[in-house]
């Protein structure tokens, strides 16, 4: 290649920076280029977007071939892995690829694993590859949840691809700046007419810090030591350029995980997690298991073949798909063992405005005694109920809700609760909460993680008498506002948010989600605390959200927003508010019935299925037997009755 032996190049740049034109200039000398287009077509009525795509197509020479990779985000890695050494590939751009990756049609999927697969394909690719990607790290943090999800994913993809490529260039206002030099010290350069990448300004740019000396800028003379022989006297006439020493490109090296003792019970289900002498360490970037991404679509496809008289299960087919992915089989079974974890922890200060003192403790004691809506619904559905006391959170508007040590303890405690449930054979966990001020704490977490406006995600305050308390609602909004102002310069890591804003119940719930993910136990979310924990767990282990199911949003605006960010679609829209956790138990019998029906029904006979076994047609007890329409026996002797005095056989008296 003509960029001093670099085989793979990443070209970064902002909008209208000229990054695509520069990338195309790097492959102009290649006789044939495979152009890999990643951007979806978009809205047919969006003429401006169509104009952009048309401009890109118009710049491509007729000798180039164009391939679309928009159907499946993994196709790009497959194309790179199968490319031949004599090929030149231009990928434009990774922004479109990330858009397809985040499309709900391709979920659930491990986005981090897919990005890693792309980086591995680039490292092992034998062809010459130039990749274009938008640089989004220099702009403001987007104000919308979808915008933040896109920038986070694209930033992760850019880092992984930059680490895998031989060279990285940043284009600013049409001017390229090389960020990453070639790792070799004697990189050969190809002549100007060679097939490969052409550098900006010259056919053979100098490699900063290399052992070879190249010709002056703008010259087409190959570098000394090149595999191509220069013309006679060309090296003698060329002025050597001074050697420029650049700092080494640093790459992150993950910490070494210490070896574990064989008897440590915490190491068995989470072998990828770091452990220390004091126990489990919960930190960002944990590698937890993903559900089976193939079993879900297979289960949903199987539903279309079942012997049912109507159109099927409707939107509840998502329940079957979720159960299939989490159980790893296209024929999932109904959850027979369910445990409800009711988290009791209050939030002091303005977050609990409008609540009666001691009300949350009364609810927790009521649940322990088997009384109240939650306990009765759990008993009705055959689910066990465990009340968990969590640390009381300090007023978040004045000080951190928890100390860092309390956050660590709460996370580990939640993890152990999930471990205990898994060891007891629990197949589904349901999260509930009954603390004072949980709605305000969840709103603060959503504001910190998703940029939500507190008034937009704080529901109305309803008193015990059923009245709306606007004064209490304003106090809660002010508490969240002051807490965000107090922490506006604080770090926004997962544990930092839990310490500053989240509190004990959200921290324990986060630990439960992470522990359940490690043990492959699905979790039924219901309410602000559960979805706030989902937002936090996303930053610790992105796989956790794929093990969560949201039965109903309950009318909570915070749950609606968090569900949108997490990619969770509520199965029902009953708008009940029986307390966090109770709505999930109301929906549980329906979810179980759907799974039991999907598992028991056979395939329709027209599709090759067998008839369900039943009595023979000539069996007197068979449903196929002819009905007996014999005359009814006459009534026994007695006084004649008139129509007005006759009563129905059931004893029901007409009014």
Q: Which residues are marked as active site?
A: 580
588/523 Cα distance (integer angstroms)? 12
Q: What is the DSSP letter of 474?
A: H
Return the SS3 of 393. strand
Could you give the residue ranges of the DSSP H alpha helices within 359-437?
Answer: 359-368, 372-381, 404-423
- How does strand 167-172 pair with strand 34-37? unpaired
CA angle 90, 188, 2 (to 5 degrees): 30
CA nearest 443: which of 337, 560, 346, 363?
560
The residues, any chain, with a CB within 8 Å of residue 60's CB and separated by 6 or more, are: 24, 33, 35, 66
618/636 Cα distance (integer angstroms)? 34
Return the SS3 of 592. helix
210/230 Cα distance (integer angstroms)? 19
How many CB atoms lie under 10 A from the CB of residue 16? 9
- Assign residue 166 a region (left: φ > 0; alpha: ψ between -120 and 50; beta: otherwise): alpha
- Assign residue 447 a region (left: φ > 0; alpha: ψ between -120 and 50; beta: otherwise): alpha
321/301 Cα distance (integer angstroms)? 9
Label residue 59 exposed, middle or buried (CB < 10 Å: 0-12, 13-18, 19+): exposed
Contact 363, 574 (CB under 8 A): no
How many CB atoms lie under 10 A from the CB of residue 104? 8
CA nearest 315: which of 524, 531, 517, 550?
550
φ and ψ at residue 431, rounded to 5 degrees: -100, 135
How many CB atoms lie under 10 A from the CB of residue 256? 7
Contact 343, 529 (CB under 8 A): yes
The secondary structure of 124-175, three-state, reads HCCCEEEEEEECCCCCCCCCCHHHHHHHHHHHHHHHHHHHHCCEEEEEECCE
Q: How far is CA 380 from CA 101, 333, 334, 377, 525, in A?
A: 41, 20, 16, 5, 19
End-to-end alpha-carbon separation of the chain, Å? 97
Diameter over CA atoms, the chain: 136
CA nearest 372: which of 401, 342, 331?
342
CA nearest 98: which of 50, 37, 151?
151
269/517 Cα distance (integer angstroms)? 10
């Amino acid at each position: 290649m003509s960029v001093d032996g670099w085989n793979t190049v990443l070209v970064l740049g902002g909008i209208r920076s000229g990054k695509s034109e520069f990338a195309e200039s790097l492959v102009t000398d290649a006789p044939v280029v495979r152009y890999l287009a990643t951007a979806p077509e978009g809205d047919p009525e969006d003429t401006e977007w169509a104009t952009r795509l048309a401009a890109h197509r118009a710049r491509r020479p007729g000798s180039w071939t164009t391939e679309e990779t928009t159907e499946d985000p993994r196709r790009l890695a497959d194309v790179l892995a199968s490319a031949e050494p004599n090929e030149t590939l231009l990928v434009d751009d990774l922004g479109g690829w990330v858009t397809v990756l985040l499309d709900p049609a391709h979920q659930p999927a491990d986005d981090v694993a897919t990005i890693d697969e792309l980086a591995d394909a680039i490292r092992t690719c034998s062809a010459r590859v130039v990749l274009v990607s938008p640089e989004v790290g220099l702009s403001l943090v987007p104000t919308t949840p979808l915008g933040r999800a896109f920038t986070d994913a694209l930033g992760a993809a850019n880092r992984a691809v930059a680490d895998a490529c031989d060279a990285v260039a940043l284009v600013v206002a049409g001017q390229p700046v090389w960020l990453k030099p070639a790792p070799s010290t004697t990189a050969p350069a190809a002549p100007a007419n060679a097939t490969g990448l052409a550098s900006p300004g010259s056919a053979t740019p100098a490699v900063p810090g290399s052992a070879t000396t190249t010709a002056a800028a703008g010259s087409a003379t190959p570098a000394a030591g090149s595999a191509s022989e220069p013309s006679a006297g060309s090296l003698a006439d060329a002025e050597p350029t001074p050697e420029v020493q650049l700092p080494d490109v640093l790459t992150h090296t993950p910490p070494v995980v210490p070896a574990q003792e064989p008897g440590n019970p915490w190491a068995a289900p989470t072998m990828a997690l770091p452990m220390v002498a004091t126990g489990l360490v919960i930190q960002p970037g944990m590698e937890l298991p993903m559900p089976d991404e193939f079993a879900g679509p297979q289960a949903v496809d199987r539903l279309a073949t079942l012997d049912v008289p109507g159109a099927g299960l409707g939107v509840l087919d998502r329940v079957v798909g979720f159960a299939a992915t989490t159980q790893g089989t296209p024929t999932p079974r109904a959850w027979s063992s369910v445990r409800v974890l009711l988290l009791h922890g209050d939030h002091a200060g303005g977050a609990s405005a409008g609540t009666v003192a001691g009300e949350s403790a009364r609810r927790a004691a009521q649940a322990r005694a088997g009384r109240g809506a939650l306990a009765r619904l759990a008993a009705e559905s055959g689910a066990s109920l465990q009340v968990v006391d969590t640390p009381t959170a300090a007023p978040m508007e004045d000080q951190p809700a928890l100390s860092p040590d309390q956050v660590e303890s709460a996370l580990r405690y939640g993890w152990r609760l999930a471990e205990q449930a898994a060891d007891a054979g629990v197949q589904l966990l349901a999260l509930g909460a009954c603390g004072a001020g949980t709605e305000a704490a969840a709103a603060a977490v959503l504001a910190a993680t998703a940029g939500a406006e507190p008034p937009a995600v704080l529901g109305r305050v309803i008193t015990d008498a059923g009245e709306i308390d606007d004064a209490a609602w304003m106090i809660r909004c002010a508490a969240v506002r002051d807490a965000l102002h107090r922490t506006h310069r604080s770090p926004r890591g997962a544990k930092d948010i839990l310490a500053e804003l989240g509190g004990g119940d959200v921290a324990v719930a986060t630990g439960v989600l992470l522990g359940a993910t490690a043990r492959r136990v699905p979790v039924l979310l219901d309410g602000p605390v559960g979805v706030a924990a989902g937002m936090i767990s996303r930053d610790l282990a992105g796989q956790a959200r794929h093990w969560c199911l949201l039965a109903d949003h309950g009318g909570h605006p915070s749950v609606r927003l968090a569900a949108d960010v997490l990619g969770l679609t509520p199965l029902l829209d009953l708008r009940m508010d029986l307390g966090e956790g109770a709505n999930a138990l109301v929906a549980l019998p329906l979810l179980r019935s759907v799974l039991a029906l999907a598992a028991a029904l056979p395939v329709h006979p027209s599709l090759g299925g067998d008839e369900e076994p039943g009595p023979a047609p000539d069996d007197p007890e068979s449903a196929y037997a002819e009905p007996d329409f014999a005359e009814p026996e006459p009534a026994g002797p007695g006084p004649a009755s008139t129509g007005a005095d006759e009563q129905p056989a059931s004893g029901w008296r007409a009014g």
